[in-house]
Every structure is written in structure tokens, then in C-alpha cells.
Amino acid sequence: MTTRLYYTDTYLRAFDATVVERTDDGRRLYLDRSAFYPTSGGQPHDLGTLGGIAVIDVIDEDERVAHVLAAPYAGTDEVRGVIDWTRRWDHVQQHSGQHVLSGVCEELFGWPTVSVHFGDALCTLELGTPGVSPAQLRRLEERANAVVAENRPVLVTFEDAAAVAPRLRRPSGRTGTLRIVAISDFDTSACGGTHVRATGEIGAILLRRVEKIRENARVEFVCGARAVCRARTDYDALTSIATRLSASVDDVAPLVQAQADETRTLAAANKKLIEEVADHRARRQWDATAPGADGVRRLRGADGMSADELRAYAAACATLPATVFAGTVRHTRTIACAMSPDLAANAGALLKAELQKVDGKGGGSPRTAQGTVPTDAAIDAVLGALLGALLGGH
């Protein structure tokens, strides 16, 4: 059994212990006591050293904690452990901040915490609600930071599960003695993680993206030093955008929105022009192309077409009588084809069959189809098949 020193002292950075078992040629150590936190409850494991050797993983094995080392330990049974404090403190701030956020979600909106994930860059809180509005997100953030600023004491106790159950924010489901983490007059949770002594040590809490996950909402958040770093990164990005736009940071959002609206308007107008030009060019090529013995005109796209022009040209050709079209954008190895409605051939099926022969990908409808091929040589092979013998007899 491993005595878990972090249960009673989150701030312990170094400790002495006795090795009680070594496995994996000394790469896996079991100690009589340890301050290393193992991956558990969504919180990542600590890093550091044991006997001067890097600890690369810490595993919770119920009664014991396994310490996985980067190299074999061949020293005496008396060993000194040192915690990577920068990593530990980061996890302490994120986990304690999550308790505050979960408590605020219950307090303001009655939203239960479904699950938690602590990542290397961002943390997430999955909430039992189908959505979180921008106004609600702002209220959560403001209230959470108010609780932090109140510097409420955070107390760790060990209590009987039945006795403490009425005070828990979330039912534990365990019996016997529970480790309880309580934020004074605010939140009480059964938790084995590492936490601050008072909420002021959490630092700023920053809420970010909200996304739908199943029937719930997932909120990204960062706390403490991470929040400051993230805010600085965000501000630097906004400043860079503002500089390029010759605007102030406060004017970036409306200016970008205005430019996006203008871009959509121009894109729609450009799309219409491309389609009109494609219709004209397709009809002109159709008039200049003699039909084959089967009465079918076989048209090809002009070199230098863009992907949008190629798609528009294919759509235009599909409206012409007794016509087969194929063209390509060579630098992207894209192929498009089209068949007139009066032809029995299926453009999607025909192109897909030829693409499979050259390990290409794509498909489409009976009238128009598009795909890509892996090599330049395959472009000509597929084009030749589409425009040549493949349609003989149709």
C-alpha cells in the first residue's frame, strides 16, 4: 500500500521514501509513500525525478502507485523524489478552477457537470445542458472570477460517505471514508486531486469556445498562468490582425465582419459570372465540335481552368444534348465529367470506375461528377477512357 502524501499536502515538492518493489528491470518502482499524483479523475499525472531519474508516468493501481522511470533505477531502497512543480502547480490551478466553475454552473443555472478533461493546453467541462449562450458564458466567467477574488479557503477533510452525502455537489457512489475538497460556503466535492489552499491562488479563469457534444454542451476553459498566457496570445493575434487592417483592436471584429459580408457578396457575383461564361463557352465549343459516329459530341475543358470554372463548365455541358464532357485542373490532379440527360451513361458511375483503376477517389451524380488521381499520368488515362472507348455504343 502506498501512502499518498499529496492527499494531505499538495505543496510538498520533495520527499524521501523506501522502495518496496522494483519491476521491469528497475524501470517501475513502488514506494511506501509518494507525493507523485497518478493520472486519475481526469487530472494528468505528475512528472519529476526519483533517485535523479526522470519519472515519465505515474499509475494508480488501487492500493498502490506505480512510478515508471525513463531508465532503470539501481540505487538503494532509500530514494528521494522531486516533483516537477511547474507542472504540478498548473494542474492544481486548472483542477481547483474547475471546481469553482462546476459550482457556479450549479449555482446560476442548475447545470450538472457530466465530465471533465484536463489537457496540456486547454481544459474542458461537459455540462448537462444542450447549449450555453454568449450571455450565459459571460455570467459564468464573471461569477467564477468573483469567487476566486473572494479568496475563499479550500479545505481538505476525510469524512464518512453517508454523513457527507447531503453536502456533495455530485453524488459519489462510494462508501466508507471519502476525501472531501470544500470551497468555504460554496462547493463540496469528493475528490482525490491536488488543490489550492484558497481560491485566490487559482488566478484568472478564462472561458473560451462552447461546442455541442451529444445532448450536452462542452466549454473550454483555462485558469491561472495558462489564462494569462492564452489571453496574451489572443491579444497578440488580434493586434496583428488590427495592424494589417490599419484599425484598432476594438474595431477588428466589426471590420472583419464587414469584409466577410463584402467577400460573400463578391463571391456570389463571381460565381454567377463564372456560370454565365461557362454556359457561353460550352455552347461555343459544342457548336464547333463535330459529333462522333454515335452522334455524341465529346468536349474537353480548356487548360488553365480553375476548379470553380471546371465545375461550372461541366454543369453547363450537362445541359447540352448528346454531349460528353471531361476536363481537368492539372496542378490539383482534379478531373470532372458530365453527361447529357439524353444519354444513358451515368457520369458518377463511369468516373468512379475509372478512378478505381488508378487509385483515385471521387464520384457524383448521373449528370456530373468529380474526382482526383494520385499521379499526372493517371489524368490522361482517365480522360482518354471517359472520352473514348468507354462510351462507345452509347
Sheet strands (E) in the chain: 3-4, 14-23, 28-31, 33-34, 48-50, 53-61, 64-69, 78-83, 113-118, 123-127, 154-160, 177-183, 187-190, 205-213, 216-223, 297-300, 323-329, 334-339, 361-364, 368-372
What is the structure's pLDDT at 363? 87
- What tens digit of pLDDT does each residue of 315-347 get? 999 999 999 888 888 888 999 989 898 888 888
| Average per-residue pLDDT for the chain | 92
pLDDT average, residue stretch 105-127? 95
- What tens digit of pLDDT does each residue of 134-147 get? 999 999 999 999 99
What is the structure's pLDDT at 388? 64
pLDDT above 80 for 387: no
pLDDT above 80 for 148: yes
For 107, the grid coordinates are 449555482
CB–CB of 126/115 below 8 Å? Answer: yes
Q: What angle, 0 to 180 degrees and rounded to 10, lies between the N-to-C axes of helices 134-149 and 85-109?
A: 120
CB–CB of 354/362 below 8 Å? Answer: no
Cα radius of gyration (the chain): 32
pLDDT above 50 for 393: no
For 65, the grid coordinates are 502507485
pLDDT above 50 for 176: yes
Instruction: Give the integer Cα–Cα distance in Å for 5 and 34.
Output: 6
CB–CB of 39/45 below 8 Å? Answer: yes
Q: Which of the pair, 367 or 303, is modelled with greater confidence?
A: 367
What is the structure's pLDDT at 56? 97
pTM of the model: 0.75
Structural domains of the chain, ranges and CATH numbers in brackets = 3-83 (2.40.30.130), 89-243 (3.30.980.10), 269-391 (3.10.310.40)
Confidence label for 195 from pLDDT (cuts 50, 70 and 90): very high
For 21, the grid coordinates are 518493489
